[in-house]
Structure formats: C-alpha cells, structure tokens
Amino acid sequence: MISRWTTAIAFFAAAAAPGNAFVSQINAPLAVKPVTSTSSALFMGPPTDPSAPITEQYGEGSRKYRRTVYTHDQWVKHRSPDRFLNNIRTLFNSGIYKQVAKEVIATTSVAVFVCGWNALAGGYEGFDGSMHEAVIQGSWVQKIGLPLTPFTVLTPSLGLLLVFRTNTSYQRWDEARKFWGLNINHTRDLNRMATAWYGNQSNQDDTKFIGAATPAAENIDPVKRQEDLQQVSLFTWAFVRSMKRHLSPPAEDEEAFIKEIRARLTPEQAENIITANHRPNRALYDLSVAIEKLPMHFVRKDELNKNLSIFEDTLGGSERLLSSPVPLFYSRHTARFLATWLLFLPFALYEPFKDSWNHLAMIPVTSFISIMLFGIEELATQLEEPFTILPMQGFCDKIGGWCDEIVSWAGDYTEDAFDSNVREMSKM
C-alpha cells in the first residue's frame, strides 16, 4: 500500500511538471535586447529598461511599444528567412501569450486533474511499466471523460467565430490607419495650396471671375506672408495633435499635449484649444480663420476648405471607432464559447492519449492548444481599439515638420524665375 501511494505521489509530480514549467516561463524576467538600429522606425517590443515594471512588459502597459513604423531596414528583417526561428525562440516572451497565461493555466490544471483523478480512480502505470490498482476504491468512484465527437462537430463553428472576430478587429485597425493616412495627405495638400496661391487676389470683390485676367501677385509683404502661412501650418499641426490627444488615454497624453501646445502656440491660442470642450473642433475652427485671412480668391479658399471637411470626416470616423466596439454580445459569446470548449477539451483528450504513459501527453497538448486559440482571441481584442497601438505621435510630429517645410518655400519661385526657365527651355 505504501508503495502504491509513493508511486501515486511521483505520478502527480510528473503530471504537474508541464504546467509548472509553463508558469515559470510566464513569470520569468523578460529578456530585453538593446536596439542597435539607427533608423527612424518605432520598434515593437518591451521597454529597453530592465527595471521597467512588469505591467509594461505585457497587457495595457505594453501597447505603447506596439506603435511600429517600418522603414526599408525593418522590411528586410521582416522578410528574413530566420523569422520563424526568431519568433519561436521568443515564444514565452510574447506579450500576447503572457496576457492569456491565466486562461492557459486554468485549462492545463483541468488536464492535470483529469489525468490525476483517472489514475487514482482507475489505476495507473508505474515507472517499471507494471499496472497498479486504483488508489481510491468504491462503488461511486469512476473514471471521468467525454467523447471527442461533440468537440469535432463544434470546431468549425468556433473557427468561424474566431475568424470573424479577428477580421472585424483588423478592419477597424485598417480603417483607423487610413483615417490618419488621409490626415497626412491632406495636411500637406492644404499647406501646399496655401503657399502656392498666397497673394493671388485677382477676380475679387466686384471683379468678374469668369474670363477675367489673372495678374501676378502684387505688393506682397514677405514678413506678413510668412506669418500668415506659419499660422496655417501651426493650426494644421494643432488639429492633428488635438485629434491624437482626443483619441488617447488622458493619463498617457494630457500632460505632454498641454506642454507641446503651449510651446508652439501663443498663450491665447494655446489656452483657447486647451480649455475647449472639443479640442480638435477648436483647432479646426482656428485653422478655418487662418485660411480666411489669407489674401487669395474665394474659389481657392474653397479648395483649401475642402481639406478641412475631410479632416472633420476622419475625426468623426475615428470617434465612431473609439466609442463603438464590436457588439458586446458577439464578443462575449465568442469568449464564452472558446473558454467552455477549451475547459472541457481535456475530458475528451484523455482516451485518445492512452498510448502515452498514464495519458500524460494530453497535458502539454492541452496547454499548446489553449495558447494558440486563446492567443487568436487576444489578438482580436488587442486590435479592436486601434488608436493606442497606432504611432499617432509620430504622425503628428511628421505632419508638423512637413507643413513647416512647405510654407517655408513661399517666395522661392517667382514669376521672373518662371519666365527665365521658359526662355532657357525654348533655346533647347
């Protein structure tokens, strides 16, 4: 009898080993490699400071490290033939897998319980290959298990739910990225037109526009022109920066937003935006006023204002994504379906693994299946709210720099220079 209990205890230790091994990997400190590239990309991954809290290594705190912008160097690495080996080597450093660790431990514990109970209630194989009688005996004691057929029948349905969940979440991320792509394109377009058309006041007031001559710009004060265009550039940046703040968590961005706005705008302009109930709308209004003050024909001003209507559309679309998740009943049903399916799966895997020692192979298999399937659902959840994983700060900084550069070209290309180029080309 003592030998029987000794073997049973040894069995439990062996059964628990895969689960404990997984837990130790989850709780192990993250191996952080220093970034050696000198490109301008924003890298994915954990913080480079080894003393960073665990809350920034996965979960909500790690989202700011997923705001990746690729350059040519990163695409080369992305296509590397070593990518599979690298991704497998960092399996247990994955923030996605760390995020689902509790769920995986739960399903693995169920698998350990099924193996352990059936060994105690139905007998087990010793280390020497000999079979031992059940440790717990009685008329009420039975081995537990389920047929595999229900899980096989439900697998396609579960797969469809997960596919729709991930596709919908990716579409939301893609739509948010396209909104910011429109912002980038039309901020440059707006400032280009404002700079090129500045000072053309022909056909204004009581002069007919259709068929009228278009004289060259006259009496342009270079200092005033630079001030006017700089206002357009600044408020263009102020709009996208306010939009970024509008779509970001206050705890992450409020302090930085106020500091940046006060650094670039006049005190009055900055306070008008900071104290507004809807900051992007206020910045967009200030941009409209700056455009209205430009000395150019109203038809051209209308063209500039079309960009502002597009900005309003991208802002409204982003607010829709932020405030409207995938219908909660769908997300909840998918999560419940997946969790229930995986929690009961060990009962059905017991018999198929009868050829392994005391059915123990089902434990690591259960862990692996759980990691993969819970990981798919976690990917969808992480993508569903796209703004905190988009590099919006990088977009805003680039937009500000590009707009400042465009308005600095004002006056570089005069009519005399144009005529001179035409004469030179005519000689060719």
pLDDT digits (tens, 9 = 90+) for 59-96: 665 666 666 777 888 888 888 888 888 888 877 777 78
Nearest to 341 by CA among 169, 167, 153, 168: 153
Q: How far apart are CA 143 and CA 90, in angstroms?
A: 39
Q: Are 242 and 279 in contact (CB under 8 A)?
A: yes
Q: How far apart are CA 318 and CA 175, in angstroms?
A: 9
Confidence class for position 10, pLDDT limits 50, 70, 90: very low
Residue that is written with structure tokens 């350059």 in the block:
71
The DSSP bridge pattern shows strands 124-125 and 131-132 to be antiparallel
Confidence class for position 231, pLDDT limits 50, 70, 90: very high
Tell me what pLDDT residue 60 has: 61
406 by Cβ neighbours in 10 Å (0-12 / 13-18 / 19+) ranks as buried
Q: Are 96 and 378 in contact (CB under 8 A)?
A: yes
The number of beta carbons lying within 10 Å of the beta carbon of residue 354 is 10
Question: pTM surpassing 0.75?
Answer: yes
181-213 pLDDT per residue, tens: 999 999 999 999 999 999 865 544 444 444 444
Tell me what pLDDT residue 21 has: 36
Confidence class for position 27, pLDDT limits 50, 70, 90: very low
Tell me what pLDDT residue 47 has: 52
Nearest to 287 by CA among 249, 236, 323: 236
- Residue 46 CA: distances (Å) to CA of 26, 54, 65, 79, 406: 15, 10, 6, 22, 36
Q: How far apart are CA 355 and CA 351, in angstroms?
A: 9
Backbone angles phi, psi at 412, to 5 degrees: -70, -30
Q: How far apart are CA 263 and CA 270, in angstroms?
A: 9
Residue 375 has pLDDT above 90, yes or no: yes
**HEC per residue, the chain:** CHHHHHHHHHHHHHHHHHHHHHHHHHHCCCCCCCCCCCCCCCCCCCCCCCCCCHHHCCHHHHHHHHCCCCCHHHHHHHCCCCHHHHHHHCHHHCHHHHHCHHHHHHHHHHHHHHHHHHHHHHCEECCCCCEECCCCCCCCCCCCCCCCHHHHHHHHHHHHHHHHHHHHHHHHHHHHHHHHHHHHHHHHHHHHHHHHHCCCCCCCCCCCCCCCCCCCCCCCCHHHHHHHHHHHHHHHHHHHHHHHHHCCCHHHHHHHHHHHHHHHCCHHHHHHHHCCCCHHHHHHHHHHHHHHCCCCCHHHHHHHHHHHHHHHHHHHHHHHHHHCCCCHHHHHHHHHHHHHHHHHHHHHHCHHHCCCHHHCCHHHHHHHHHHHHHHHHHHHHHHHCCHHHCCHHHHHHHHHHHHHHHHCCCCCCCHHHHHHHHHHHHCC
Average pLDDT score over residue span 213-224: 67
234-260 pLDDT per residue, tens: 999 999 999 999 999 998 899 999 999
341-362 pLDDT per residue, tens: 999 999 999 999 999 998 999 9
Backbone angles phi, psi at 379, to 5 degrees: -55, -45
- Residue 187 CA: distances (Å) to CA of 41, 121, 173, 180, 308: 22, 72, 21, 10, 9
Average pLDDT score over residue span 154-170: 95
Residue 15 has pLDDT above 60, yes or no: no
Confidence class for position 11, pLDDT limits 50, 70, 90: very low
Q: How far apart are CA 300 and CA 199, in angstroms?
A: 11
Residue 7 has pLDDT above 60, yes or no: no
